[in-house]
Amino acid sequence: MYGRDRSNSPGKLYVVGIGPGAADEISQKALNVLKSAETIVGYKLYIDLIADIVKNKRIIASTMRKEIERVQLAIQEAQSGKTVCIISSGDPGVYGMAGLVLEMVSKENLSLPVEIIPGIPAANAAAAVLGAPLMHDYAVISLSDLLTPWEIIEKRVECASEADFVIVLYNPKSSQRDWQIEKTANIILQHKSPSTPVGIVKDASREGESVVITTLDKMTSCPIDMTTIIIIGNSTTFIYHNYMVTKRGYQL
């Protein structure tokens, strides 16, 4: 349960997407909201990415797997009459905090004003680095089974592969979860050619960004971790110099 609004004027909670990491890729609206807020709540790594923007603010930072706690604290701050930003990397509506915030507000039937501020998703930042791999229909799938059973993830990979979608993989591998990417590759290889182009982008738009363009049969031999986005092409995707391109269907 949350406390009642204790101020004369109600607070407001913004859920802000800060983009993939580079300061110049944060939207002007997000910058304005961050600068006007009294309290900033977020995962410590993401707070560090915007440290220069939010200096002199009240900062509430926490570690991974503390999402529910962060939302609770953000709601409490806003209910006390403050303007609060809870931040997500990328876009808050793409594996971000927007859904959890609205779930928790609705569960308690709160009248707290909430506004979602979009950001550039990591998939789009990675796609821009690679060229134009998302020019046609694509499926975005997280391989993390922390909140979703592996059986469901596996079925989604199977269906997307069979339907010849371009496939974007989030959270492909971690130090404690390393077998899913091998299993995923084997499933996709049942439906796509081994020579299908694959783009692997680590830390898109962040310091240390790295890019590899390879093929599906060699994908799992490349360096992959939790900050990696993998884009697997469809049957029309091709490589031109250092660009990965999926055809839209124009007759040239």
Q: Which pLDDT does position 52 carry in this prediction?
A: 94
Give the percent of the chain with pLDDT over 90.
Answer: 92
Tokens of 14: 């913004």
CA–CA gap between residue 21 and residue 151 (Å, rounded):
32
H/E stretch holding 149 reads none
- Read out DSSP for 210-229? EEEEEEGGGGGGS---TTEE
pLDDT tens digits, one per residue of 137-182: 999 999 999 999 999 999 999 999 999 999 999 999 998 899 999 9
Q: How confident is the model at residue 67 (pLDDT cuts 50, 70, 90)?
A: very high
Report helix, strand or coil for 163.
coil
Q: Is the pLDDT of residue 59 over 60?
A: yes
Q: Is the pLDDT of residue 210 over 50?
A: yes
pLDDT tens digits, one per residue of 105-143: 999 999 999 999 999 999 999 999 999 999 999 999 999
Q: Which of 57, 60, 9 is nearest to 36 (CA)?
A: 57
Domains of the chain: 12-120 (3.40.1010.10), 123-246 (3.30.950.10)
Once rounded to an integer, what is the mean pLDDT over residues 33-62? 96
H/E stretch holding 201 reads strand 197-202
User: In sequence order, what E strands does 118-226 have?
Assistant: 131-132, 138-142, 166-170, 197-202, 210-215
Asked whether 49 and 87 are in contact (CB, 8 A), the reply is no
Q: Is the pLDDT of residue 4 over 50?
A: no
Q: Which pLDDT does position 85 carry in this prediction?
A: 99
Q: At what angle do helices 67-79 and 98-107 cross, to 10 degrees?
A: 60
Q: Which of 51, 59, 62 is nearest to 26 (CA)?
A: 51
